[in-house]
Amino acid sequence: MRLSWQKSIPSPPQRQNRLFNGLSIAVILLLTCFWGSSRSAAGGPPTVEGPEKWVVQGNGFRSEGKVTEALWAYRQAAKAGNVAGAFAAGDLLFVQGQAEHGGERVLKLSDSLGYLFLAATNRHPQACARLADALQNGIGVPTNLVCAYAWLKLAAQYNSSFKADLDRLVVQLEPGDVISAQKMAGQFISGNWPGGVVRPVDRGDARLVVQGMSRNGHEFLIILNGGSLTVGEKVNVASVKSSKHLEGERLAVSCLEIGADYALIAVAGEPNLKLLPIASR
């Protein structure tokens, strides 16, 4: 039924009342239908549509302590391009990663910093501050106070509550470093972003196998595909057979880090790092 206003000859009082009552009922019914359609079936608040619904669900799961479900929902939101979802995923992984040890810590913090970088480069102030925290304290990434200052200055640019943190950080820098950090922050503010804060890390690689590890004083040595190397060394090794690569393919690899249960390896020409398990003896 479509309601419309029509200019006509005034009706008798009784007819006017009936017309007014009819219109009132119709308007009430329309408003009721509209309101009802914007609320959940359970009579709750208006239904959230689009990627935001994943963030709402994730927040609900997180408040209930269901972190696995919360992270899944946040990832869905981030995948759909939702900045709040990307920050929420990064923030949750950041908290989880700091509670982990060994290879799991490396994987979760790398994943976390990837999501936080995505949110930060979309000018999310809390994400910028999280990146600054990681860089200032060496959480999942080497300590770099200049970069930390730049990201924190960006956070303060969009949220003044971070200015106090910025003032506390600046006293830790040399005057020349402050100038470099301010220049870097200016580039960020103008949209000239770095390539990333940390390289993505893959769990394992079918071409690479750590066959053993030994320790000589404070230095660890691993045997990788028959070749030996320690942190900072580069070698060429033959890949093991996998479904995508031929056995014997030569790979130029370098060792970035060795932990109690993992080795972090870079393969020349490939963007992602490889976290390889080291079996406990």
Residue 253: pLDDT over 70: yes
Question: How far apart (Å, rounded) are the C-alpha atoms in residues 162 and 63?
Answer: 25
120 and 155 both lie in a single domain? yes
Do 233 and 222 contact (CB within 8 A), yes or no? no
pLDDT in tens, 230-250: 999 999 999 987 656 565 689
**To the nearest whole percent, how much of the chain has pLDDT over 90?**
73
Q: Are 247 and 226 in contact (CB under 8 A)?
A: no
User: Are 161 and 209 contained in the same domain?
Assistant: no
Which two structure tokens, joined as six digits, stand for 227?
Answer: 């070749």
Mean pLDDT of all residues in 85-92: 98
pLDDT at residue 251 in the model: 94
Judgement on whether residues 128 and 251 belong to the same structural domain of the protein: no
Strand order through the sheet with 273-277: 201-203, 273-277, 262-267, 250-258, 234-238
How many whole angstroms separate alpha carbon 190 and alpha carbon 206?
42
Instruction: Let me know whether 214 and 168 are in one domain.
Output: no
Residue 84, CA distances (Å) to 91, 107, 224, 225, 236 in order? 10, 22, 41, 42, 43
259 and 133 both lie in a single domain: no
Please determine, for residue 73, whether its predicted confidence score (pLDDT) is greater than 70: yes
Q: What is d(CA 170, CA 161) in angstroms, rounded to the nearest whole number? A: 16
H or E element: which one contains 170?
helix 163-170
One domain, residues 162 and 223: no
Q: How confident is the model at residue 213 (pLDDT cuts 50, 70, 90)?
A: very high
Q: Is the predicted pLDDT of residue 32 greater than 70, yes or no? A: no
At which of 165, 189, 213 does a domain end? 189
**pLDDT confidence of residue 10:** 36
> Does residue 185 share a domain with residue 221?
no
Mean per-residue pLDDT, 216-231: 90
For residue 280, the model assigns a pLDDT of 60
Q: Is 56 found in the same domain as 178? A: yes
Q: Is residue 64 domain-shared with residue 183, that is, in the same domain?
A: yes
**According to DSSP H, which parts of 38-160 are helical?**
52-63, 67-79, 83-99, 102-120, 125-137, 145-158
- DSSP assignment, residue 139? S
With a pLDDT cut of 70, the percent of the chain lying above it is 80
Q: Running DSSP on this structure, what letter comes out for residue 245? A: S
**Do both 82 and 172 map to the same domain?**
yes
Task: Please count the structural domains in the chain.
Answer: 2
Domain boundary pick from 158, 189, 220: 189
Q: Which amino acid is at 262?
A: Y
Same domain, residue pair 156 and 262? no
Tell me phi and psi for residue 122, to 5 degrees.
-105, 20
Backbone angles phi, psi at 45, to 5 degrees: -70, 165
pLDDT of residue 49: 73
Residues 183-200: tens digit of each pLDDT: 999 999 999 999 989 999
pLDDT in tens, 4-30: 323 333 333 443 444 334 434 343 333
Q: Predicted confidence band at 47 (pLDDT cuts at 50, 70, 90)?
A: low
Q: Which helix (H) or strand (E) holds 262?
A: strand 262-267
pLDDT given for residue 218 in this prediction = 80
**DSSP line for 195-227:** S-SS--EEE--TT--EEEEEEETTEEEEEETTE
- Residue-level pLDDT at 50: 85
**CA–CA gap between residue 45 and residue 14 (Å, rounded):** 41
| pTM value surpassing 0.75 | yes
User: What H or E segment, with its residue span, contains residue 41?
Assistant: none
How many helices (H) does the chain have, and how many strands (E)? Answer: 9, 8
Whether 263 maps to a domain, the answer reads yes
Decide if 57 is inside a domain. yes
Note the pLDDT of residue 244. 60
Q: Residue 172: which domain range? A: 52-189
Residue 123 included in any domain: yes
pLDDT at 38 over 50: no
pLDDT (mean) for 146-165 = 97
Q: pLDDT at position 6, please?
A: 32
Q: Answer with the one of 189, 219, 253 that is the final residue of a domain.
A: 189
- Do the domain assignments include residue 25? no
Domain-embedded: residue 127: yes
235 CB-near residues (< 8 Å, 6+ apart)? 224, 227, 228, 229, 252, 253, 254
- Residues 156, 218 within the same domain: no
Q: What is the CATH number of the domain that holds 118?
A: 1.25.40.10
* The pLDDT of residue 99 is above 50: yes
35 pLDDT exceeds 50?
no
Residue 208 lies inside a defined structural domain of this protein: yes
Mean pLDDT of 113-132: 98
Q: Are 276 and 205 in contact (CB under 8 A)?
A: yes
